Amino acid sequence: MLIRVGYEIIYRCPQPTPMILMVNVHYSRAADILTPDHLTTDPFVPITSHRDVYGNWCSRIVAPAGEIRLTATALVKDTGVPDLLVPDAEQHQVKDLPQEVLVFLLGSRYCETDLLSEAAWRLFAHTPLGWNRVQAICDYVHNHIAFNYGDASPTKTAWNAFNERRGVCRDYAHLAIAFCRCMNIPARYCTGYLGDMGTPPPHGVMDFAAWFEVYLGGAWHTFDARNNIPRIGRVLIARGRDATDVAITTTFGPNSLHSFRVWTDEIEETAIAGSVG
């Protein structure tokens, strides 16, 4: 299947404002990108780019005083296969984990393992190790948090979501990640595009999505506590410890978000072939 993804974000800044943008499709999908998602700014400003410590592609700009429009669109090839299930994936003992995954056992800005450890062991100590334990965590978080766009907050942590029992997809991911880490399972936060392909209507307003990955059986595996079913059409943008590491935009000065649109649409291959011909 072919998926057209993209965004339009409009900021207003009272003064020149440096920004870091993490908006490009992840390099792990490079072979699937048919039309690249080159960042365009209006008005034009110089863009410099780098990879962060997690391998995510970051763009740096200085937004001028006034309004700036950030946009890109890409065409991505996808298998159309749902998230892979590997129920026999085994949990590693901490002493056997590769050095590079140990950071994903630690508490972080939005995933307070110190505050949630007691609850995690009370809730999940009786569950089987490995895949089934992660699934039990997803089941619990999925049922514990009520989804509501109005409950989105940039300061809400896993501990807050656990106690308030309300939130959006990033809160589901943060709480599930924190529980996994408390149970000695490395877990990392993911952000990207996730359309409504393969799901019944009514469909919600499109936004960037959050899910997470855990390290089991020598590999990273996708889990999604918000939806809690295998989905098709995920297009990864970035991975990190939590939302701090993968913020779509990080601004260094006063600003207001004037407009925000995201799209993820399945495109008929015949339509693409026709337009090319």
Q: Which CATH number belongs to the domain containing residue 254 in this structure? A: 2.60.40.2250
65/179 same-domain check: no
215/268 same-domain check: no
Please tell me the total count of domains within the chain: 2
Which are the contacts of 39, defined by CB distance < 8 A and separation ≥ 6? 21, 23, 24, 47, 59, 70, 71, 72
70/126 same-domain check: no
pLDDT tens readout for residues 87-111: 999 999 999 999 999 999 999 999 9
pLDDT tens readout for residues 157-180: 999 999 999 999 999 999 999 999
Domain that holds residue 47: 2-79+248-276
* pLDDT for residue 277: 44
In a domain, 160, yes or no: yes
* pLDDT for residue 270: 65
Interatomic CA distance for residues 191 and 249, integer angstroms: 12
Residue 249: pLDDT above 50? Answer: yes
**Two structure tokens written together for 51:** 């990879």
147/196 same-domain check: yes
119/30 same-domain check: no
* pLDDT for residue 199: 83
6/136 same-domain check: no
108/73 same-domain check: no
